[in-house]
Amino acid sequence: MTNSIYGSTAATATVSAYSAQQSAKPDKTNTTKSASAVTSKDWKPASEKSSLIPTAKDGYGTVVGDVKLSDKAKEYYAKLKEKFHGMDFILVSKDMKDQVESHASLYGNSSKPVVLIDDEKIERMANDPEYAKKYESIIESSMLKLEAAKNSITASGAILKNFGMTVGEDGKTSFFAVIEKASEAANKIREKKLAERKEEKAEEKKKAEKEKAEERLKEWAEDDREYIEFHSDSLEDLIDAVSRYAFDSSENAAIAKEGIGQTIDFRG
């Protein structure tokens, strides 16, 4: 089973998209990774009737599947959750671990990082101190990595729904981010820029132009939200890909679409 450790946020950072682009670029000394390592696909939530939907179980907390732990493992799991009380734990049964692993991005949380861990791994951690030490260290270090990366992604202007990482049995990590598609992100930027333009140029606009702009905004606001999911074995490449997508597909598209901000009058 893969340990998935991740979180999500809707917060918007105060730095510019350009700054995020620069900070998101990989270290030039590392030439083993490239943008080609990043894949993307449409993201869809799980059906309400899906077996992937978490439930609550007495003595275990949030679970997926029919989890079972020995008394010793139960006691260890309770202590583990207390040690990392700033994270949300979801315990996964043996028969569901492969499905959960392949759909890790479904388990987002708006306030806390999430740890997906299977009952077999908890049993082993409860009985093998060295094994437990290894994975507790991964959980702890992952919190710091995800917080820094989350800040870079939100700083790019991307509207983040879900973000995180998975850790395999061999300790290999993989990262993912789920963000609103550019059309939705661009809508928010267009709304802001159109509002600023209306305030600054109200006397210069004709009534017909105002009505047309308002009609366009209404149509955009009625669109359903859609999301895109990015995956990569490289955290730097993931941040770079999401940042470029947010900047190129959203802000530039909005400016080109509306023709706003293309001319600056430096005379005041």
Domain region containing 40: 3-181+225-258
Would the CA dihedral through 73, 75, 79, 81 be positive or negative? Answer: positive
In-domain check, residue 211: no
CA distance 260 to 258: 5
In-domain check, residue 210: no
Residues paired with 90 in a beta bridge: 116
CA distance 80 to 86: 11
CA distance 108 to 8: 6
Secondary structure of 113-124 in the HEC alphabet? CEEEEEHHHHHH
Overall pTM > 0.85: no
Tens of pLDDT along the chain (268 residues)?
655 655 544 433 322 332 333 443 444 333 334 444 898 888 888 877 889 999 999 999 999 999 999 999 999 999 999 999 888 899 999 999 999 988 888 886 656 778 889 999 999 999 999 999 999 998 888 877 888 888 888 888 888 888 887 777 777 778 888 888 876 555 665 566 666 666 766 666 556 555 545 554 454 344 457 889 998 888 889 999 999 888 877 555 555 555 544 433 434 4
In-domain check, residue 245: yes
In-domain check, residue 34: yes
Phi (first) and psi of residue 110, to 5 degrees: -80, -15
Q: How many domains does the chain have?
A: 1
In-domain check, residue 204: no
In-domain check, residue 199: no
In-domain check, residue 168: yes
Start-end of H helices in the chain: 17-24, 71-83, 97-102, 119-127, 129-155, 182-201, 207-221, 235-246, 252-258
In-domain check, residue 219: no
